[in-house]
Amino acid sequence: MPAKPRLTREQIARRAALELPDGAYVNLGWGIPNLIADHLPAGITVYFHSENGILGMGRRAKAGEEDYDLVDAMKVPVTLVPGASFFHQADAHLMTRGGHLDVAVLGGFQVSEKGDLANWKIPGAKGPGGIGGAMDIAAGTKRLIVCMEHTTKEGAPKIVRECTYPLTGLACVTTIVTDLAVIDVTPQGLALREVAHDWTPAEVQELTGAPLAVPGHVPEMRFS
């Protein structure tokens, strides 16, 4: 039997974008989260924070309008929205660590049932890894959403009872959006909120390394 289709990275981003409240100050991490800026629902304004000292980061710069003193955390030239501001790196992280941002969205290698996050180093990978701003964000952000594939390329669950990869932060994740489901981290453990089209809660549980609380009716993942 061929594998059932899962959501694309763009669809994960589109679903995660619906979690951002109007007017929110938001930090987007590398990977899938970075795609969210292109998938905001109509009528919603959010202010993107960049750890190099920008609040009110706009779309990527078009060819010809790049200014290499105005880049995002991925080194890509960007633009500003009206009302933007600049500040130094210490204040940029004061905003993350001090709980001033409303939401941050990060990529993840593993999330535990307690909301522990591992996202900066894969054991056995070449090189020392890189922490960047992830630990400051994990420690201080009011609402931390993780966007990732539900399983590794080899099919192992990335949502687990205990993280085995080097940790970024303890009990910091509030919601996980994957290519199969939306899952909330609650004081009682993981709670399944939505499943991808054509997938059942039992099938999602099968690919999850920790128990999921499943309500009587689990709606399909929505995109608007």
Partner 1 sequence: MKHKIYKDIDAIVADVPDGARIMFGGFGGAGFPNNLIQALARRGTKDITAISNNCGTHDGELGMLFKLDRIRHVIASFPGPHATYFQERFAAKEVTLELVPQGILCERMRAAAAGLLGFYTTVGVGTEVAAKKEERILDGKRCILETPIRADYAFIKAEKADELGNLTYRLAAQNFNPIMAMAAKTTIAEVEEIVPVGAIDPESVMTPAIFVHRIAQAKGIRYAG
| Residues lying near partner 1 in the complex (CB under 8 A) | 50-54, 67-75, 86-90, 92-94, 96-97, 116, 126-136, 138-140, 166-170
In angstroms, give the least distance from the CB of 4 to partner 1: 33
Instruction: Name the residue nearer to partner 1 (CB basis): 163 or 221.
Output: 163
We find the least distance from the C-beta atom of residue 7 to partner 1, in angstroms, to be: 26
Our CB check for partner 1 shows the closer of 66 and 203 to be 66
Is 65 a known active-site residue? no
All residues at 6 or more sequence positions from 184 whose CB lies less than 8 Å from its CB, including other chains: 174, 175, 176, 190, 191, 193
Distance CA 43, CA 140 (A): 28
Listing DSSP states for 42-63 in one string gives TT---EEEETTTEEEEEEEPPT
Rounded CA separation 38/88 (Å): 26
- The nearer residue to partner 1, 132 or 209, going by C-beta atoms, is 132
H/E stretch holding 134 reads helix 134-140
Query: How long a stretch of residues is the chain?
Result: 224
Catalytic residue among 51, 149, 162, 194: 51
* Closer CB to partner 1, 126 or 153, in the complex: 126
Q: In what order do the strands lie in the sheet with 159-160?
A: 117-118, 110-112, 159-160
CB of 198 to partner 1, least distance (A): 36
Which tokens hold the place of 167? Answer: 């940790």
What sign does the dihedral 98-100-106-110 (CA atoms) show?
Answer: positive
Shortest distance in whole angstroms from residue 209 CB to partner 1: 19
So which residues are the catalytic ones? 51
